[in-house]
Amino acid sequence: MSTIVILGSGVMGSALAMPLADNGHDVRLVGTHLDREIIDTIRSTGVHPGLGRELPAAVRPYQLEELEAAFADAEIVVSGVNSFGVRWAGEHLAPLLQPDQLVIAIAKGVSADDQGNLRILPRVLAEPVSSEVRERVRWAAIVGPSIAGEVAARRESCVVFCGEDRAALDRLAETFRTGWYHVWTSTDFVGAEVCAAAKNCYALAVGLAEGELERRREAQSTDRAHNYEAALFAQATAEMRAWAALVGAREETPMWLPGVGDMYVTSTGGRNVRVGRLVGAGLGFSAAAARLGNPTLEGAAAIKVFGGALVKLTERGVVTADDFPLMRHLHEVIALERPLNMPWSSFFGGERTAVRGAG
């Protein structure tokens, strides 16, 4: 049995308590400063209000000020915050982490430096930790199709734990793996994380299709926009492969669970898709986000980072102006709030250009 601390009691961090509890581990769920009501509800009812499910008895809730107590004898730490809270989490974990602890993160996103070079979020998480400890902690992340409600309901789920230390990944996989929570491992840390971030952007794009039908007042038509969605999904797949190549990832990484698998499940629903639908219907991004109550939109945030990075990478000659046409247009629509005008003919190398394997 292992002692595991989860920092962040949102739906995904809390859902991960299910396989851990099923495996008999001691799970300590710590809320952030935004989670006080969640922790209070769990303490009083045993039910997580976001998941609508009772948490196992092995899961003990803690408020943020009890984080140090929760860390007593902890072997594994789960950073359960979203991409907006990663640096905050790193700052709170920094004084508590010990050499040889294992840290695994769930946030999906990316950052970029002034030159447009991409940085994965586990690096951002580790930054506030002293170099002496940082180099001895084993860092990892969870990628792949993983809807929190389905994990909490113990639905069959297949995910990838990625990191640089094979032995650490194997131990983490054995800690979490159950008969329904299936875990593969990959040492393509950067590639898997970049794919996990990019898929949120491209899932938002898929949402534009339903919005286009509404804008054309054809939402009730039996003829849907699946052709539109499929073309975007295919172009997104091509661009994820290009992102992977750009960061030196393995060719296969975008083509399985960290890439197309995760993009598929994210494209089927959620906040990124809903805001895409509103934008497709004719709203500017700010108005669309406001209509949804300004929720956390990791896809939109990542579009701003990827798109901003493309500007700098193009200026440096690392990529050409013809590369990544879908991500570039998403950046125009989301970050710059320009009208949606999908650049179909620029996809797949250009409509009037012979494509390898065609004809």
Would you state the structure tokens that stand for residue 50, as one six-digit string?
């976001």
The predicted pLDDT at position 355 comes to 59
Is residue 199 annotated as part of the catalytic site, yes or no? yes
pLDDT band of 225, cuts 50, 70, 90: confident
pLDDT per position as a tens digit, 245-287: 999 999 999 999 999 999 999 999 888 899 999 999 999 999 9
pLDDT per position as a tens digit, 78-95: 999 999 999 999 999 999
pLDDT per position as a tens digit, 348-358: 999 876 555 55
pLDDT per position as a tens digit, 47-90: 999 999 999 999 999 999 999 999 999 999 999 999 999 999 99
The answer to whether the CB of 101 falls within 8 A of the CB of 135 is no
The predicted pLDDT at position 356 comes to 57
The answer to whether the CB of 183 falls within 8 A of the CB of 160 is yes
Radius of gyration for the alpha carbons in the chain, expressed in angstroms and rounded: 21
The answer to whether the CB of 128 falls within 8 A of the CB of 91 is yes
User: CA dist 118 to 124, 227, 248, 259, 309, Å?
Assistant: 11, 32, 11, 17, 7
The predicted pLDDT at position 295 comes to 85
The predicted pLDDT at position 359 comes to 45
The more confident residue out of 288 and 221 is 288
Catalytic option among 108, 199, 304, 312: 199
Give the residue-averaged pLDDT of 13-40: 97
The predicted pLDDT at position 352 comes to 79
User: CA dist 116 to 112, 242, 324, Å?
Assistant: 5, 15, 14
Kindly state the percentage of the chain with pLDDT values over 70.
98
